[in-house]
Amino acid sequence: MKILIIFPRNIYNPKSGKERRVNNLVRALSAFGDIVTLESDEYKDEPSLLSKRRYFFRYKFLRAFLIDFNPSYIFSLFRTLKREQPTVVQLSYPWGIPIAALLRKILKLKFLLVYDAHDVEAQRCYEVVLKDPSHGILKPLVFLRCLYESIIEHIAVRVSDIIIAVSREDKRRFCERYYINSNIIVVVPIGSFMISSINHKKIESKLKLGLDKETIVLLFHGVFTYYPNREAVELIKKYINPKIRKKYKNVMFVIAGKGTPKGREKELVFLGFIEDLTTFLASGDIAVVPILKGGGSRVKIFDYMSVGLPIVSTKKGAEGIELINGKHALIFDDVNEEFIKAIDHLIENPKLRRKLGYNAQKLVKSKYINTMTTYIYINKYVNKLKTIITKKFQIEK
């Protein structure tokens, strides 16, 4: 089986949750077939151990959601399909799928088209992108973008043979939004690909990051350009941290992620993008996830669970993950006084921190990131591919 992966972002040196997810998914799929990639030429110099052959297109002018109108993408895809004749073409956005379906018809090829969805893109646009206040007077244009994305995703789910969803919630959303048969949707949780972090000594990790060994460290990380993460950081700065600092002087928020500023600000430590995520995670005592918007599942939650960190999160932050409130994490509807009290309670109760962290780590290892779990999910997806391929060939014969 030859699988063509189309992804315009960085597959090989991931710096965001979505990039890490695609990287791990491609690694898992490489055991079942030959991987060929079509990528942005921005990453031409990145070393690759994942793909047999790589093809590129220019991506700087017509980016992301306008990729179907990018002449370089269309020409490169045409050439790649004709030369490689893949069994499966998998895209991690709805954009690019309509033109792939059109070329399949023009070239009379038999490949399966797979929409690998990190979330329901149209819903994310309306609930996240449109609500980003930084757009200002350009908001009407953003609304038109969301309308366009909704149309493109509608086409994508109609022409795709398989849709990969990251959670049961997203599977339900796809069915309700686009009235599609649930049988074409395969749920492959993000966590089934996450690599369990090796044990690091907490004190050593704190010292390595320039923190005092006695400090209780509260962690949050995420790509800063993504509005829900930026909103969460603002809540930490303006609401959560001031209330926590009134009671505790030995507590420090440490925030990391691509696009975050480096330095200290009002008893907050900003690390910017970090290469060594494991040391960052190992330095923490409590993970705080005040996410109010977004779809899919948060990779950061799996990160915290994998190292046994106790988590205080909103329902939106914990969405798509089978966490039991009070057993695996402390989960709240909103960022309010109850949310603050939960952080207080964990600061004052090391025993409860250990218990929640242990339960969360046990859950993620047994249900999401052990080898057997990964095999089950990937095998389910591959078997679905093989079944559809067999049916298609029988019909054509």
Tokens 């389910």 map to which residue?
380
Q: Which tokens sit at 13?
A: 């040196």
Identify the residue with better confidence: 90 or 207.
90
Residue-level pLDDT at 374: 65
Name the residue type at position 109. L
Element (H, E) at 242: helix 241-247
**What is the pTM for the complete model shown?**
0.85
Distances in Å between the Cα of 117 and the Cα atoms of 160, 189, 257, 388 are 11, 11, 22, 19
The Cα 369–Cα 175 span in angstroms is 27
Q: 3-class DSSP state for residue 191? A: helix
Q: What is the pLDDT of residue 378?
A: 78
All domains of the chain in start order, with CATH:
2-194+371-396 (3.40.50.2000), 202-368 (3.40.50.2000)
pLDDT digits (tens, 9 = 90+) for 226-246: 999 999 999 999 999 999 999
Pull the structure tokens for residue 390: 């067999």
- Confidence check: pLDDT of 282 > 70: yes
User: Residue 56 belongs to what H/E stretch?
Assistant: strand 53-57
122-136, 281-295, 337-351, 378-392: which has the minimum mean pLDDT? Answer: 378-392
Report phi then psi at 384, rounded to 5: -60, -45
Confidence at residue 395, expressed as pLDDT on a 0 to 100 scale: 52
- pLDDT higher than threshold 80 for residue 391: no
Fill in the amino acid letter for 28.
A
320 pLDDT higher than 80: yes
CA atoms within 13 A on the CB side of 4: 24
User: What's the pLDDT score for residue 188?
Assistant: 86
Q: What is the pLDDT of residue 234?
A: 94
Residues 172/187, Cβ–Cβ less than 8 Å: no
pLDDT at 385: 80
Return the number of other C-beta atoms located less than 10 Å from residue 231's C-beta: 20
**Torsion sign across C-alpha atoms 344, 350, 351, 352:** positive
Tens digits of residue pLDDT in 118-129: 999 999 999 899
Here the tokens at position 154 are: 């509608």
Q: What is the pLDDT of residue 386?
A: 80
Overall average pLDDT of the 180-209 stretch: 77
Q: How confident is the model at residue 370 (pLDDT cuts 50, 70, 90)?
A: low
Q: Please, what is the average pLDDT of the chain? A: 88
pLDDT of amino acid 170:
93
Amino acid identity for residue 225 in this structure: T
CA–chain centroid gap for 167, Å, is 12
Of 356 and 47, which is predicted with more confidence? Answer: 356
| CB-based contacts of 136, cutoff 8 Å, min separation 6 | none
End-to-end CA distance of the chain: 20
Residue 353 pLDDT > 90: yes
How far is 261 from 271, CA to CA, in rounded Å? 7
Partnered with residue 17 across adjacent β-strands are none
Please name the residue that has the structure tokens 């490169």. 76
Rounded Cα gap, residues 188 and 333, in angstroms: 26
Cβ-contact 150, 276 below 8 angstroms: no
**Which stretches of 178-310 are assigned E, i.e. beta strand?**
185-187, 216-221, 251-256, 262-265, 268-271, 286-289
Longest dimension (CA), the chain: 74
State what percent of residues in the chain have pLDDT above 90.
Answer: 56
Higher pLDDT, 360 or 366: 360
Residue-wise pLDDT for 195-207, tens only, equals: 555 556 888 888 8
Mean pLDDT of all residues in 96-107: 96
Residue 256 clears pLDDT 90, i.e. is over it: yes
| CA atoms within 13 A of residue 272's CA, in its CB half-sphere | 4
